[in-house]
Amino acid sequence: MIKKRLLIINKSFELGGIQMALANMLEAIHNEYDVTLAVFNQNGPLRNRVPNNVKLLKLSSLVQVLGMSKRDCRQYGSVIQRLFKTVGSIWSRMFGNDLPVRFAFAFQKNVGEYDIVISYHQETSKKTLVTGFGKFALKKCKSSQKIAWVHADFLATKLATLNNLKTYQCFDKIVSVSQVCMDNFVVAYPSLKDKCLYCYNYIPDAEIIKKASEHQGVFEREENTIVLFSGCRLVEEKGLVSTLIDLLPLFRENHNLKWYIAGDGPEKEKLEVIIKMNNLEERVILLGFQSNPYPYFKEADYLFLPSLHETFSMVVSEAHILETPVIASDIPIMREMLGDEDYLCNHGDFRKCLSNLIATYASKHFNLNGAEQKENWLYYFTKIIDRRN
């Protein structure tokens, strides 16, 4: 049986939710399809998770820049790439990124013909030079079936622009990673409603359970201490800084509460300053990047997720697989994903929620439903991308 040729376009192999979701998806589909990747920035640790039978295209040097942050470009880029990043970023902030993207694409040959093409990273702001994934799918490859994947809330992130509409209306299907994500996309672009579907990210249950057992005793805890764990990029939309400020009185009053945070990102320095100024080094612990965070998931009393907005939370699914209850912001996707043993709190009320929890806390294990099995997910994924409108 001849496998369908599938081209997937993405930004990079750096650590991040979209890249992790892609790595998990490749695990599920690489034996079912003839998969090729067109990844703009091919630096990053998640490149090691690409299955051996998945082909990786080498793209032109200027297209590579469209997937690089300024930091990545300084670290990995050539002189020409750094110059293009600097000039292109300034131009994009002033006039929009259409011209720099067209210029980069002019040096990129067409990458061939495929049965299905997926632009796995959503379009971004017109003012940034980390962009062009959907346009690449539309302009640089041939296929009778072109699909855009959406991982962002287009209302909360203000991506619902006319410029992005012009791109998305050219796709055959638009697949969001949750129903909430899809619903908000449809509110943003009602004319595209008939093209919209949703498919949850694939979560590899067995692998997560195996990795969670690789280490034990990862937390330093005293008797009757409640341990919160957060694993995420340290960025503003995760709500970590504002939540830590709100919780300062609680940490000062209660010595039976610890918060461990794994991850890296631009908010790290702010968190470090708040922790140091309030002498919380033993109460709020920044773990940095963890290649295997699952033992922390497993041993924590609660996964703590004070996000301002999310579209699909892989960490919630991972916590459920490991039977760890979740405390999260009361935002639409959490109402969609959380179960009876989890806790929803308004973003400004975490201090009150945790105070009530501490007052009634008793250690116990929870039995929650895990993510869908690989076969069920793969069936639904195949149904979505193979279905003709």
Q: Do domains 5-202+373-386 and 206-360 have the same CATH topology?
A: yes
Average pLDDT over residues 162-182: 94
pLDDT band at residue 158, thresholds of 50, 70 and 90?
A: confident
DSSP, res 194:
G
Tell me which of 1.20.120.1810, 3.40.50.2000, 3.30.565.10, 3.40.50.300 is the CATH number of domain 5-202+373-386: 3.40.50.2000
pTM, two decimals, is 0.81
Q: Which residue has the higher pLDDT, 380 or 244?
A: 244
Return the pLDDT at 327.
Answer: 94
Inter-CA distances, 382 with 116, 232, 339, Å? 11, 29, 27
Q: Is pLDDT above 80 for 380?
A: no
Determine the average pLDDT of the residues in 257-262: 94
Strand-pair partners of 22:
none
pLDDT score at 191: 97
Q: Are strands 173-176 and 257-262 parallel, antiparallel or unpaired?
A: unpaired
Locate the domains of the chain by residue range. 5-202+373-386, 206-360
Does 83 score more than 60 pLDDT? yes
Instruction: Please count the residues of the chain.
Output: 389
Q: Which of 9, 283, 275 is nearest to 146 (CA)?
A: 9
280 with 257: CB under 8 angstroms? no
Q: Which residues contact 223 (CB under 8 A, 6 or more apart)?
A: none
Residue 364: the pLDDT is 38
Tell me, what's the pLDDT at 40? Answer: 97
44 closest CA partner among 288, 291, 210: 291
**Predicted confidence (pLDDT) at residue 277 exceeds the cutoff of 70:** yes
Residue 113 DSSP code:
B
Tell me the β-bridge partners of 305. 328
Q: Are strands 34-41 and 5-12 parallel, antiparallel or unpaired?
A: parallel
What confidence tier does 154 reach under pLDDT thresholds 50, 70, 90?
A: very high
Instruction: Annotate 355-382 with DSSP letters as a single string.
Output: HHHHHH----------PPPHHHHHHHHH
pLDDT of residue 239: 93
Contacts of 67 (CB under 8 A, 6+ apart): 10, 11, 12, 39, 40, 41, 130
Q: 187 φ, ψ to 5°? A: -60, -40
Rounded Cα distance, 316 and 318, in Å: 5
Q: What are phi and psi of 386, to 5 degrees?
A: -90, -20
Please tell me the predicted confidence (pLDDT) of residue 220: 79
Q: Is the pLDDT of residue 311 over 90?
A: no
**Residues 94-116, mean pLDDT to the nearest whole number:** 95
Question: Residue 41: what are its φ and ψ, rounded to 5°?
Answer: -105, 105
Rounded to the nearest integer, the mean pLDDT of the chain is 90
Amino acid, res. 267: E
Asked if 37 contacts 64 with a C-beta cutoff of 8 angstroms, the reply is no
Q: Is the pLDDT of residue 145 over 50?
A: yes
Task: Give me the pLDDT at residue 309, please.
Answer: 86
Indicate whether 371 pLDDT > 60: no
pLDDT, average across residues 236-253: 91
What digits encode the pLDDT tens for the residues 288-304?
988 899 999 999 999 99
What is the pLDDT, as a whole number, of residue 370? 40
pLDDT confidence tier of residue 388, bands split at 50, 70 and 90? low
Name which residue leads in pLDDT, 387 or 2.
Answer: 2
| CATH number of the 206-360 domain | 3.40.50.2000
Q: Residues 181-196: what's their mean pLDDT?
A: 95
Q: What angle do CA 374, 329, 290 make, to 5 degrees?
A: 55
